[in-house]
Amino acid sequence: MYTGLQHLHSYIAYLVLLGLIISFLAALAGLFGNRTFSDKDRKLSLLGLIPVHLQWVIGVILYFVSPRGLPNFSGEAMGDSVARLYMLEHPLTMIIAVVLITIGYSRAKRMLGKNAGFKSIAIFYGIGLALILLRIPWISWPGN
């Protein structure tokens, strides 16, 4: 089960980045093009939200079964930057990113017909994407 989840988490990471980049760029285009945020735009922003939510659920399960996750949690592992990344920094930062992205989507959903919907997506997805990029374990992904 562990290997299957690890591979799934690794593959969905591509969808997460792709979905967030597309949603973020579309929101910037709408924002600066002075368009109103329509239901079609809301649906497009789901491209960023859905893979992130899927990844979050898989990540939490992985955290309990991976030897790099909770089973590795110790004071000693805290002193090792790679171990700390997997057992603490990556999960915590990703959870914050997921919460921000969800807030951005929920706010935008209530702003249909207004340009501000694009602003909500651009700001919250933008910060979420930056956090994800900062704490992806680039040492092991996308493979070396």
What is the smallest separation between the CB atom of 21 and ligand HEM, expressed in angstroms? 12
For 58, the token pair is: 């898989």
| Residue-by-residue DSSP string for 89-136 | IHHHHHHHHHHHHHHHHHHHHTTTTSTHHHHHHHHHHHHHHHHHHHHS
**Least distance in Å: CB of 95 to ligand HEM?**
5
Among 62, 85, 108, 131, contact with ligand HEM (rule: CB under 6 A): 62
Q: Which tokens sit at 15?
A: 């969808």
Q: Residue 137 in contact with residue 96, Cβ under 8 Å?
A: no
Query: Using CB under 6 A, which residues numbered 24 to 53 contact ligand HEM?
Result: 52
* Distance between CA atoms of residues 45 and 31, nearest Å: 13
- Contact letters for ligand HEM, residues 83-122 (x by CB under 6 A): ---x---xx--xx--x------------------------
Which has the closest alpha carbon to 118: 34, 47, 61? 34
Q: Cis (ω within 30 of 0) for the bond into 142?
A: yes
Q: Which stretch binds ligand HEM (CB under 6 A): 22-30, 31-39, 62-70, 116-124?
A: 62-70
How many amino acids of this chain bind ligand HEM (CB under 6 A)?
26
Residues contributing to the site for ligand HEM (CB under 6 A): 6, 9-10, 13, 16, 52, 55-56, 59-60, 62-63, 66, 68-69, 86, 90-91, 94-95, 98, 132, 136-137, 140-141
